Amino acid sequence: MKTYSIALIPGDGIGRDVTAAAWTVLETAAKHSDFILRGTEFPWSCRFFKETGRMMPENGIETLRGFDAILLGAVGWPAEVPDSVSLHGLLLPIRKAFVQYANIRPHRLLPGVRGPLRAESLDILCIRENTEGEYSGAGGRVHQGMLDEVAVETSIFTRAGVERILRFGFEQARARRGRLASVTKSNAQKYSMVFWDEITRKLAADYPDVAVTSYHVDALAARMIIEPQSLDVVVASNLFGDILTDIGAAIQGGLGYAASANINPDRSAPSMFEPVHGSAPDIAHLSVANPIAAIWSGAMMLDHLGEKDAAGRVMNAIEATTARGIGATAAKDSTDAVTAAVVAALN
Ligand code: IPM
Ligand code: MN
């Protein structure tokens, strides 16, 4: 029987609850299929940092490299470790080291879930560049603490990086409703975003079946709220994609529904699956975190592993659950109740 080895990194706060929930559902799905999931848990987190001075061991990346996929909960406990330290010690290095350049974030209203908009249905797939751009990490501070202090943080856009993410977006659009929104800000950013637009136009020639439109990020933010039905696939740089996908989460009913997949399309290293939400310290001990985003991310993992049937069954079980009103209203049902309902639907 096919066996997949999965690295589980629950992380901090509600990341622990929702990872456990997703894993329970995934194991149930595997039980009804002809594959085995073998999970190995890593305690890498802010607590681990307090004990060891690192978010993950020095050989953390090499340890993860041998796995078929990574399932991550959430990272961050800002009361004890600054976010700039915890995220740069775990989540962000994994995305970069494993060239998970395509961050896929589906924004869709699940049955029974009411979003804040009048729109009764929406189905947007955001593709976020995940390894460079505004998150390149190039920069520094000089004259620290002095009146003439300077901070520089340079966005880096490479032709290879921009081409591969735009191509990925075109491919996704081709497989869906054939529309691609390429997110820019070339009216203000005259180097990087003009470059982005040029590459968008160049690639468009290879995809005559895709209707591509370039939108400035501010206008697209408004469009996601006013006319979300007009959008199919959205492709954006790292920071623009980060911001737009929180809007996407909001319009699909909240962060408790927003799933994501950090994909290495070449499969030269493992991909990582995680809900868009953070560790939510304020509700971390209440067992009320909605596990749907994490479970949906788990379904994306099965899909990536090639287990399309099982992935589809998990999605159906999620939809059957929310359609019954369970997990359909933020913070109403306990994490365990929602998980149990999804497991029951699968069985
Ligand atoms: C996300 C998160 C992260 C990001 C943070 C935690 C660094 O907001 O995955 O959207 O900005 O990428
Ligand atoms: Mn974000």
- Among 276, 233, 215, which residue's Cα sits nearest to residue 15? 276
State the pLDDT at residue 252: 97
The answer to the question of residue 111 being in a domain is no
- Among 241, 252, 229, 217, which residue's Cα sits nearest to residue 330? 252
Ligand 1: residue of 87, 238, 260 to mutate (most ligand atoms within 8 A of CB) is 87
Boundary (domain end) residue, out of 189, 224, 251: 251
The answer to the question of residue 99 being in a domain is yes
Classify each residue of 88-102 as buried b or exposed e, where b means 16 or more C-beta atoms within 10 Å of its C-beta: ebbbbbbbbebbbbb
SS (H, E, C) the chain: CEEEEEEEEEECCHHHHHHHHHHHHHHHHHHCCCEEEEEEECCCCHHHHHHHCCCCCCCHHHHHHCCCEEEEEECCECCCECHHHHHHHCHHHHHHHCCCCEEEEEEECCCCCCCCCCCCCCEEEEEEECCCEEEEEEEEEECCCCCCCEEEEEEECCHHHHHHHHHHHHHHHHHCCCEEEEEECCCCCCCHHHHHHHHHHHHHCCCCCCEEEEEEHHHHHHHHHHCHHHCCEEEECHHHHHHHHHHHHHHCCCHHHCEEEEECCCCCCCEEEEECCCCCHHHCCCCCCCCHHHHHHHHHHHHHHCCHHHHHHHHHHHHHHHHCCCCCCCCCCCHHHHHHHHHHHHC
Instruction: Tell whether 277 and 235 lie within a shared domain.
Output: no
Instruction: Tell whether 246 and 262 lie within a shared domain.
Output: no
User: Exactly one of 135, 207, 215, 257 is catalytic; which is it?
Assistant: 135
State the pLDDT at residue 36: 98
**pLDDT digit string (tens) for the chain, length 347 residues:** 999 999 999 999 999 999 999 999 999 999 999 999 999 999 999 999 999 999 999 999 999 999 999 999 999 999 999 999 999 999 999 999 999 999 999 999 999 999 999 988 899 999 999 999 999 999 999 999 999 999 999 999 999 999 999 999 999 999 999 999 999 999 999 999 999 999 999 999 999 999 999 999 999 999 999 999 999 999 999 999 999 999 999 999 999 999 999 999 999 999 999 999 999 999 998 999 999 999 999 999 999 999 999 999 999 999 999 999 999 975 579 999 999 999 999 99
Is the shortest distance between the CB of 274 and ligand 1 below 6 Å? no
Boundary (domain end) residue, out of 251, 266, 300: 251
State the pLDDT at residue 330: 55
Q: How many domains does the chain have?
A: 2
Is the shortest distance between the CB of 12 and ligand 1 below 6 Å? no
Say whether 190 is catalytic: no
Ligand 1: residue of 81, 242, 277 to mutate (most ligand atoms within 8 A of CB) is 242
Instruction: Tell whether 154 and 99 lie within a shared domain.
Output: no
How far is residue 234's CA from residue 80's CA, in Å, rounded to a whole number? 36
Contact of 108 with 233, CB cutoff 8 Å: no
* Cα angle 187, 192, 194; round to 5: 50
Give the domain extent around 330.
1-105+258-347
The answer to the question of residue 236 being in a domain is yes
Residue where the block lists tokens 């809007």: 247
Interval between CA 242 and ligand 1 midpoint (Å)? 6
The answer to the question of residue 138 being in a domain is yes
Contact of 126 with 232, CB cutoff 8 Å: no
Paired residues of 119 in beta bridges: none
Nearest residue (by CA) to ligand 1, atom 10, is: 242
Please report, for the domain that includes residue 237, its CATH number: 3.40.718.10
The answer to the question of residue 110 being in a domain is no
Instruction: Tell whether 100 and 153 lie within a shared domain.
Output: no
Interval between CA 34 and ligand 1 midpoint (Å)? 34
Classify each residue of 143-162 as buried b or exposed e, where b means 16 or more C-beta atoms within 10 Å of its C-beta: eeeeeeeeeeeebebeeebb
Boundary (domain end) residue, out of 251, 277, 296: 251
Ligand 1 closest atom vs CA 76: 6
The answer to the question of residue 216 being in a domain is yes
State the pLDDT at residue 120: 85
The answer to the question of residue 191 being in a domain is yes
Interval between CA 194 and ligand 1 midpoint (Å)? 25
Residue where the block lists tokens 């203000």: 188
Instruction: Tell whether 120 and 242 lie within a shared domain.
Output: yes
pTM for this model (two decimals): 0.97
Is the shortest distance between the CB of 85 and ligand 1 below 6 Å? no
Instruction: Tell whether 92 and 155 lie within a shared domain.
Output: no
Instruction: Tell whether 126 and 246 lie within a shared domain.
Output: yes
Q: Cβ contacts of residue 38 below 8 Å, gap of 6+?
A: 3, 4, 5, 6
- What is the arrangement of strands in the sheet containing 123-129, beginning at the earlier edge strand? 35-41, 2-11, 69-74, 271-275, 259-263, 102-108, 123-129, 233-236, 179-184, 211-216
State the pLDDT at residue 18: 98
How many residues in the chain? 347
